[in-house]
Amino acid sequence: MSFIKNLFSREETFHLPELRYGRFSDHHSTEIKSHLWDEAVLHFEKKAYIKSYACMLEYLCIEKENNVKFTEKLNLRLKFEIIHGSKVISGIANQDGFYASAKLVKLTQYDEQLFESLLKENYHLRYTKFALDDEDHLILIFFTAHVNASPQFLYRGLRELALLSDTRDDIIIADYDFASPVNMEVIRKPSQVEVDLKFNYFNDIIQEVKSRFSIERLSKKDHPGIYAYVLLAAVFKLDYLVKPEGKILETIIEVHRIFFHTPFSIDKKIDLMYQQFLRLANYDRRQFENEIYDTISTFGILQHCNREKIIDILNGELHQAEWYITNGYPQEAKAITDYAVGYLLYSFEISDEFRHWLHLYYEISEHRFFSKMGVKFTASDGVTLKKKTILKRIDEIKNTLPKTENEFQKAVNLNYENVESFVYSYISCIVKNKK
């Protein structure tokens, strides 16, 4: 314990790499490269297929990430690699067409149950298929003739290949002990300190939710909705701050799916969501560590959300939280604003402006996590919120934004009494200043 104490008592002894938070968005990078997409379309229409593919691959390149490499030879042949998550997509384009594949796992034995499930999935996949290569790697393949390989078709096929292979490998490895990982060289494994801190936070969130359900400050029968907020806020926090992969991520997705995409009553939904959530409590540190790593991404999965919709969502949840504030349930009100922020970051591709403001929400509401992770900005001294520090941070964000986006002008209504009061007033400020 003395080691841990010393670790955090001297800032200069603890420096984590710059951590990534939340889900990857490719909107900004691809938007500024839209001319390459147009060129790819023109080349395809002229049947200059290799040139079209080269433009398409350049369109997918993200500055500073080194996520795409390709070589072109005499406009007749093209060889490429795309990195997405823990997967390397390799491929060629020649006179026969366009071919790409990704290795998911290495198999040491064949399993009827696994193969049957993948064959069934093959039937429903639109662009790709699961297969085995000559070295017993389970792979995902994508092939198309030139005549069908428009930029749009190519993008969709490569995207399906990347997203599916990146998620499925961890799940297969977790479920089958004869499957081993490949392409480990493309991921960043966190330090033991980072794993420990995230694991502790992970368990803190689980225990907090379990406590909410066991104590029942408000009856689940009379106020079922608040328990949905608690669960969703928790998994959204874990998704954004911890950034898990594998089975943990699968559980987060399932909790979200149950609430938004099942026809059950609210009571039934909450029961199913809670059962899923409790699966997270079974993770030991080793299992957790295997599902915590950083990667390079090429394809985003989020749909764009404009500022009007963002404000509508935040404003709607503020109204929901108001009753709990008025009636003396600040923790429940915070669960609602936590949900609103987490839902936006989990579900949508949002502008850099809003991402800054929503990230700051977490920096303040989850200040203990950020402080332990070595973040220089700390919103609290452990007892009270630091008003001057928070206002300075707001000014720093404002100074990084274009004048057209620099609208967080009135921070006088922020309530620093406690975290619960602050986050409600903070979201209120965002909504009022963006109308």
Range from 126-130, 301-305, 389-393 that averages highest in pLDDT: 126-130
**155: its two tokens:** 């993008």
**90: its two tokens:** 């390799």
**Residue 28: pLDDT band with limits 50, 70, 90:** low
SS (HEC) of the chain: CHHHHHHHHCHHHCCCCCCCCCCCCCHHHHHCCHHHHHHHHHHHHCCCHHHHHHHHHHHHCCCCCCCEEEEEECCCEEEEEEEEECEEEEEEEECCEEEEEEEEEEECCCCHHHHHHHHHHHHHCCCCEEEECCCCEEEEEEEECHHHCCHHHHHHHHHHHHHHHHHHHHHHHHHCCCEEECCHHHCECCCHHHHHHHHHHHHHHHHHHHHHHHHCCCCCCCCHHHHHHHHHHHHHHHHHHHCECHHHHHHHHHHHHHHHHCCCCHHHHHHHHHHHHHHHHHCCHHHHHHCECECECCCCCCEECCHHHHHHHHHHHHHHHHHHHHCCCHHHHHHHHHHHHHHHHHHEECCHHHHHHHHHHHHHHCHHHHHHCCCCCCCECCCCECHHHHHHHHHHHHHHCCHHHCCCCCCCCCCCCCHHHHHHHHHHHHHHHHC
Q: What is the pLDDT of residues 232-263, one digit of tens each?
A: 999 999 999 999 988 899 999 999 999 999 99
Range from 142-151, 187-196, 410-419 that averages highest in pLDDT: 142-151
- pLDDT (average), residues 94-120: 94
- pLDDT (average), residues 147-151: 95
Q: Which residues of 50-88 are buried (b: 16+ CB within 10 A; e: fewer)?
A: bbbbbbbbebbbbeeeebbebebeeeeebebbbbbbbbb
Q: What is the pLDDT of residue 12?
A: 34
Q: What is the pLDDT of residue 29?
A: 59
Q: What is the pLDDT of residue 433?
A: 63
Q: What is the pLDDT of residue 149?
A: 95
Q: What is the pLDDT of residue 47?
A: 94
Report whether 138 contacts 132 (CB < 8 A).
Answer: yes
| Bridge pairing between strands 348-349 and 303-304 | parallel
- pLDDT (average), residues 109-138: 94
Phi, psi (rounded to 5 degrees) for 182: -130, 165
Report whether 88 contacts 103 (CB < 8 A).
Answer: yes
The rounded distance, in Å, linking the Cα atoms of 435 and 88 is 44
Percent of the chain residues topping a pLDDT of 70 = 91
Bridge partners, 208 (sequence order): none
**393: its two tokens:** 């941070």
Least confidently predicted of 105-119, 318-332, 400-414: 400-414
Domain boundaries of the chain, sorted by first residue: 27-185, 192-434
Q: What is the pLDDT of residues 205-220, one digit of tens each?
A: 999 999 999 998 888 8
**Residue 16: pLDDT band with limits 50, 70, 90:** very low
Count the neighbouring beta carbons within 10 Å of the beta carbon of residue 216. 11
Q: What is the pLDDT of residues 378-430, one digit of tens each?
A: 788 777 888 888 888 888 888 877 665 555 555 667 889 999 999 999 999 88
Place of tokens 């979201």: 427
* CATH number among 3.40.50.10740, 3.30.1460.10, 3.40.50.2300, 1.10.645.10, domain 27-185: 3.30.1460.10
The rounded distance, in Å, linking the Cα atoms of 355 and 349 is 9
The rounded distance, in Å, linking the Cα atoms of 23 and 238 is 12
Is this structure's pTM higher than 0.95? no
Q: Which residue has the higher pLDDT, 27 or 72?
A: 72
**Residue 119: pLDDT band with limits 50, 70, 90:** very high
**Residue 132: pLDDT band with limits 50, 70, 90:** very high
Average pLDDT taken over every residue of the chain: 87
Report whether 350 contacts 344 (CB < 8 A).
Answer: yes
Whole-angstrom CA distances from 148 to 58, 78, 97, 127, 395 are 20, 17, 9, 12, 51
CA nearest to 238, candidates 39, 21, 27: 21
- pLDDT (average), residues 180-184: 85
